[in-house]
Amino acid sequence: MNVRSTPTLVCMLAVAAFAAGLSSARADTPWQQAHPWREQVNNRLQRQNARIHQQVAEGELTRAQAHRLHVQDRSVRLQERRMAARDGGRITRRDRRILNRRENRINRRIGH
């Protein structure tokens, strides 16, 4: 190995170690482990938000339609937070069913 490649190799190893640390940091956090249903609801809202943006970019939704869908998504997120606050930071099985039903209605409006 020549002398010039040694710093490059060290740098690559450092980046690999850092990346490995990031992947383990992305594992479930204590919050995610304690609130799996809240995480599920919030992840679904994030995916729906991305789909709304994609549909606007593809011309499938107008900006006005997207705005209404975003308002509905925010409403679901606020309802989820209120439900969690009422039950000590968790949402109940009943709460999850209610939120999923609302998300299903929004999901159908987004389209495919």
Residue 53, C-beta contacts closer than 8 angstroms, at least 6 positions apart? 66
For the stretch 34-64, pLDDT in tens is 678 888 888 988 999 999 999 999 999 999 9
Q: Give pLDDT, residue 27.
A: 56
Of 30 and 50, the structure prediction assigns the larger pLDDT to: 50
How far, in Å, CA of 102 to CA of 52, rounded?
16
Q: Give pLDDT, residue 25.
A: 46
Angle at 44 between CA 108 and CA 72, to 5 degrees: 55
Of 39 and 12, the structure prediction assigns the larger pLDDT to: 39
| φ, ψ (nearest 5 deg) of residue 17 | -65, -40
Q: Where along the chain do its domains lie? A: 36-110
